[in-house]
Structure 1
Amino acid sequence: MIITIPIPPKPQARPRFNSFNKRAYEDSAMTAYKRAVKYHVMAYKPKLIETGPIGVSITFFVYPPKYLLTKKKMAQELANETLYVDKKPDIDNYFKAVTDALEGILYKNDGQIAVVTMQKLYSLNPRTEIEVEGIK
Structure 2
Amino acid sequence: METVRFTVPGAPKGKARAKTVRSKKGGTFSYTPEGTMLYENLIKCCYRQESNNIIFNDGQPLKVTIIAYYPIVKSTSKKKKQQMLEDLMFPTKKPDIDNIAKSILDALNKLAYRDDTQVVTLHMEKHYAEDPRVEVEIEEIKNG
Gaps of 5+ in 2: none
Please state if 1:49 is matched with 2:53: no
Match of 1:12 in 2: 15
**Number of the residue aligned with 1:121:** 127
For 1:26 and 1:46, the matched residues in 2 are separated by 26
Give the equivalent residue in structure 2 for 1:101.
Answer: 107
Aligned residue type for 2:69: F
Distance 1:58 1:46 in 2: 20
* Unaligned stretches of 5+ residues in structure 1: none
Shift of 1:31: 0.6
CA distance 1:82–1:57, shift in 2 (3 Å) = farther
TM norm structure 2: 0.83
- Matching residue of 1:30: 36
Identity %: 31
- Runs of 4+ deviating beyond 3 Å: 77-83
- Distance across 1 between alignment mates of 2:132 and 2:87: 10
In structure 1, distance between residues paired with 2:141 and 2:69: 26
Shift of the alpha carbon at 1:82? 6.1
Structure 1 residue 81 displacement after superposition: 5.9
Pairwise CA RMSD of aligned residues? Answer: 1.8
Match of 2:68 in 1: 60
What whole-Å deviation, never above 9, does each CA across 1:98-123 have from its counterpart, x for those lacking one?
11111122222101000011011111
